[in-house]
């Protein structure tokens, strides 16, 4: 699902990491929006691919991480 970012929103996000591009062959790359837009531009004659914002804003509390370690059988 596409975000409704304005042109100004996108230009303000150019230097921020957290973007992923999938090219026409299915290969993925990650980096800044500027990097992904530049790579898409280089491939524009074939197909620019799809650029998505990778959303990984999950933050674990220490106790949650320790419980995961225990669940995975890892030593404390």
pLDDT, tens digit (0-9, with 9 covering 90-100), for 9-68: 999 999 999 999 999 899 999 999 999 999 998 888 888 899 999 876 566 677 777 887
| Domain boundaries, position 64 | 7-71
User: How many distinct structural domains can be found in the chain?
Assistant: 1
Position 1 in a domain: no
Q: H helices of 1-76, where?
A: 7-12, 33-42, 62-71
Nearest Cα neighbor of 19 from 6, 4, 36 is 36
Rounded Cα gap, residues 43 and 56, in angstroms: 27
Q: What is the pTM of this model?
A: 0.69
Task: Specify the 3-state DSSP secondary structure of 47.
Answer: coil
Q: Say yes or no to pLDDT of 73 above 70.
A: yes
Position 76 in a domain: no
Rounded Cα gap, residues 54 and 32, in angstroms: 11
């Amino acid at each position: 699902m596409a975000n409704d970012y304005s042109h100004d929103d996108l230009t303000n996000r150019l230097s921020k990491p957290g973007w992923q591009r999938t090219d026409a062959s299915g290969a993925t790359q990650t980096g800044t929006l500027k990097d992904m837009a530049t790579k898409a531009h280089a491939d524009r004659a074939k197909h620019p691919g799809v650029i998505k914002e990778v959303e990984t804003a999950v933050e674990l509390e220490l106790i949650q991480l320790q419980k995961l370690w225990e669940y995975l059988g890892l030593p404390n």
